[in-house]
C-alpha cells in the first residue's frame, strides 16, 4: 500500500488494520527520497525544478514522522486525525505540486513530455485540503 492508497483508505480502517497499513505506507515513504535523489541527478533541470527539489528535501520528513505517529498510537482517533491532516497538508500543498514540476522538467529534459503523464497522482483527500 503506497502513501496515496493509505490516505485513501485510512479513515475506514480498524486500529489494527490502520497500524499495518501505516507501516506499509511508511516503507514506501522512506523510499520516496531515494526516488527524488534519482530525479535530482538529471542534469540541466530548470530552476523551478531545482527549487522544487530543494523544497521536497526540506518538507518531506514530515510524512514519515506522521506515519510513525499513527503506528505508535493507531487506537487514538484524535491522534490519527491530526496526523492525517498533517500528511495531507504537506503532500497536497507542497510535495505533490513540487513533484508535478519535477516530473514535467524531467520529461522535458528527456524529450518524452508528449509520451508520459506528468501529473502526479493525488489521494482523494487532496480534494478536501485548502492550500
Q: What is the pLDDT of residues 98-117, one digit of tens each?
A: 999 999 998 998 899 999 98
pLDDT computed for residue 35 by the predictor? 84
pLDDT computed for residue 5 by the predictor? 92
For residues 82 and 93, give the distance between their C-alpha atoms in angstroms, rounded to a whole number: 16
In percent, the amount of the chain with pLDDT more than 90 equals 64
* Helices 47-59, 15-40: inter-axial angle, 10-degree rounding: 150
pLDDT tens digits for 73-89? 999 999 999 999 999 99
For residues 16 and 28, give the distance between their C-alpha atoms in angstroms, rounded to a whole number: 19
Residues 6+ apart with CB under 8 A from 76: none
Q: Domain tally for the chain?
A: 1
pLDDT at 16 over 60: yes
DSSP alpha helix (H) spans, 41-118:
47-59, 62-72, 77-90, 96-110
pLDDT tens digits for 36-52? 888 888 888 888 998 99
Amino acid at each position: 500500500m503506497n502513501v496515496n492508497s493509505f490516505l485513501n483508505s485510512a479513515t475506514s480502517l480498524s486500529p489494527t488494520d490502520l497500524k499495518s497499513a501505516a507501516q506499509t505506507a511508511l516503507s514506501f515513504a522512506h523510499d520516496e527520497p531515494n526516488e527524488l535523489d534519482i530525479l535530482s541527478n538529471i542534469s540541466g533541470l530548470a530552476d523551478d525544478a531545482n527549487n522544487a527539489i530543494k523544497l521536497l528535501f526540506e518538507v518531506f520528513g514530515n510524512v514519515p514522522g506522521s506515519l510513525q505517529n499513527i503506528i505508535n498510537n493507531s487506537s487514538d482517533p484524535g491522534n490519527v486525525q491530526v496526523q492525517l491532516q498533517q500528511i495531507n497538508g504537506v503532500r497536497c500543498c507542497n510535495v505533490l505540486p513540487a513533484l508535478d514540476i519535477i516530473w514535467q522538467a524531467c520529461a522535458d529534459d528527456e524529450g518524452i513530455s508528449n509520451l508520459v503523464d506528468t501529473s502526479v497522482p493525488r489521494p482523494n483527500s487532496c480534494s478536501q485540503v485548502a492550500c
